[in-house]
Amino acid sequence: MAIIEVKDVFKLFLADGKEMEALHDINLSIRENEFICFIGPSGCGKTTLLRIIAGLENPTSGAVYLHGEPIKGPGPERGMVFQEYSLFPWRTVLDNVAFGPELKGTPKEERIAKSRQYLKMVGLERFESRYPHELSGGMKQRVAIARALVNDPLALLMDEPFGALDAQTRNTMQSELLRIWGEDKKTVIFVTHSVDEAIYLADRIVIMSARPGRIKDVIDVAFPRPRNRTSPEVNRIRDRILCDLGTEIACIPRS
């Protein structure tokens, strides 16, 4: 069953007084509880598409629908996790997670209990009194994930959330995210530049073309988790994606 429908989406930007087409005729159905990754060359519009789904930007034409209703702006049914940790430095870990329920007027005892539940889910229950500057990069991103999940969104939108982490921490966070997703079973839409990350995480991988961004290919990753990053199945999909991306990178104008 589709939870999100992207229909005939085009996006134009003005750059130096000229129109630049960022997205061209995007059509995509995203299923309930699906983990989907967007990948493509830099500047292909994958973050723009994610922001349109989030309601942070409007398409020039076309529309995105959530359960059949057009998305017209941000809403609590879509939780967003950015590459930058975007935590409030003056709030403790617990108070950062509780911020959304606080805005909604949730009684204090209830929002604290729920925030502690999600901190336990991401393995940070012992750090609730710490401040963001006392945490590692991976821990900050776990707090950001808990803060998004505590509002019980239908979909979790993630824009290269592990891009700033070192390789070892990134691999750990990928496994942690799959564990959390296995418990909470949200729909996840995840933007990445990493082919290996996409294969390790996704049910489906959407490959986007160089600007203007089009959907070039959609790959089903139909083998079970946890996945062996060096298995023959993974290598076959990696080769297919790299071939697609190599063609697209060769098409990017040099200036």
Identify the structural domains of the chain with CATH numbers, from first to last.
2-77+153-251 (3.40.50.300), 88-152 (no CATH)
Q: Which residues of 201-215 are buried (b: 16+ CB within 10 A; e: fewer)?
A: bbebbbbbbbbbbbb
Number of C-beta neighbours around residue 231 at 10 A:
12
Cβ distance 46 to 213 under 8 Å? yes
pLDDT in tens, the chain (255 residues): 799 999 999 999 987 778 889 999 999 999 999 999 999 998 899 999 999 999 999 999 999 999 999 999 999 899 999 887 789 999 999 999 999 999 999 999 999 999 999 999 999 999 999 999 999 999 999 999 999 999 999 999 999 999 888 899 999 999 999 999 998 889 999 999 999 999 999 999 999 999 899 999 999 999 999 899 999 999 999 999 999 888 766 555 544
Number of Cβ atoms within 10 Å of the Cβ of 230: 9
